[in-house]
Amino acid sequence: MSEFVKTKKEFNKKPFNGNKDIKEGSEFILDIKRLGINGEGIGFYNRLAVFVDGAIPGEGHNVSITKLEGKMAYAKSIEIKTKSEYRKEPLCPYYLSCGGCNVMHIDYNEMLKYKREILIEALNRYTTINPKSFEIKQTIPCDYPLGYRNKAQLNIKKSLGHSQVSMIKANSNILVPIDKCLVQKDLINTINEKVLKCIDEFNIDPFIRKTGLGILRYLVVRVTKDDKALVCFVCKKKDRVIKELANKVLEIKEVISVYENINPQDKSIDVFGTETNHLAGDEYIIETLGKIKYRIYPTTFFQLNSYQAEKLYDTILKQAKLSFKERVLDAYSGVGTIGLYLAHNAKEVIGIEYNKDSIRAANENAKLNKITNARFIQGDASELLPKMVRENEVFDCLVADPPRTGLGDKFITSILESGVKRFIYVSCNPATLAKDLEKLKEAYQINSITPIDMFPQTAHVESVTLLVKR
């Protein structure tokens, strides 16, 4: 049994004494046993779980406690006493100040193993399911561990009279100006640089949250595998200068579409507001995954890693085992990415999505690909599925790709009532996946879980779970 798997059982063997001798500022040597869900190293002092950013399993660190929280504590590493053979120097010059990536200091192939172990630990912690009772496959690697992100939405900051894109420092509101991001496609970095020069040429001020002054909140750039780009300016208010800026930006070779989005709320933490206006060029860009083409607009959801998305959808298609006669329900269908990918092998696909813009795009994508056996309905999946069950609609296969919060109790109840034979659960959060599987286990048997590395250089774990009706 691996150290990673047995940690929880050992953790509960002896009574917790409260660690009254530990307080903020306490220093001691800590052996790192495993990796946490956010990429931090975790060690144990008696029964106190101690989280240390930047630490790797197998290392020994001299740590200082920064925060105590029940049976957990947070610490910073003062010195690495024993260094892991898998530790490497991060390539990014902003790595320590930017919160975008958090495991660039770990060898990529080793990190793939840790991502699988993070899934196992979530099952151990949140379920009574034995992870050895089914297959947990090896993490599917990404062919492009750098330069994979097809979308950037970055703050704008002015420094010494020049506009710069900025990341937000982890656990803060501090903007960290960057020249380029290594996990973004190179084209995005190039377009950012050119657009920033246009912004300065038109003397457009960035929005400053503290004062409420300025116009430009975010610069959003989306690109395709064939190097076509869409640019969207997220602004506090409408201004004619943004239209002039859009026409100038359209002169950049790869940019074929320019939008503005209006987000007037000073304290809003959301990137986009509710009003989106097309300013110049085409109305959308088109990305191709496998044989399917997808229209992409500024605010519609699309997988951030196009290369890895194909592997994800191929995994789903393989597990669905479609033979051209099944009815498939695609819950949380977005712009129809999964549903349309499956349609050629199914009798019928019905997608459910709450976002109206995504539904419009999904139906447009069906027409674009001349797919006539797929349709998409606007609404809440947790409300529409029960309605379908009541109306005796029968589905042979259900695919769900919910947000990080998971399926929700209403939707799970509906799944149990539907009696669907094959359920494919696409998850982006091991913790909520585990909690949902615990609720589904009486009616469904877990056949396999396949972790997929959608976001290299981060601790993010995507996975595909195949469940079969008992």
CA dihedral in degrees (387, 469, 320, 124; nearest 10)?
110
Task: From residue 4, give the alpha-carbon distance in Å to each of 48, 119, 132.
Answer: 16, 11, 14
3-state secondary structure at position 405:
coil
Task: From residue 406, give the alpha-carbon distance in Å to each of 140, 201, 429.
Answer: 22, 45, 8
User: H-helix or E-strand containing 165?
Assistant: strand 162-168
Q: Contact at 8 Å (CB) between 156 and 85? A: no
Task: From residue 171, give the alpha-carbon distance in Å to each of 51, 98, 209, 431.
Answer: 15, 10, 17, 21
The Cα 334–Cα 352 span in angstroms is 8
User: H-helix or E-strand containing 119?
Assistant: helix 108-126
Q: Given the residues 142, 198, 397, 428, select the one marked as catalytic.
A: 428
Q: Contact at 8 Å (CB) between 343 and 373? A: yes
- The count of other CB atoms within 10 Å of the CB of residue 264 is 13
Q: How far is CA 412 from the centre of its chain?
A: 22
Lookup result for tokens 């001798």? 21
Q: Contact at 8 Å (CB) between 355 and 300? A: yes
Query: How big is the chain by its Cα radius of gyration, in Å?
Result: 24
* Reduced DSSP (H G I as helix, E B as strand, rest coil) percent helix, strand, coil of the chain, to 5: 25, 30, 40
Task: Name the residue among 353, 344, 335 with its Cα closest to residue 372.
Answer: 344
Q: Contact at 8 Å (CB) between 456 and 142? A: yes
Active site residue 428: yes
- Give the residue numbers annotated as catalytic, written as ranges: 428
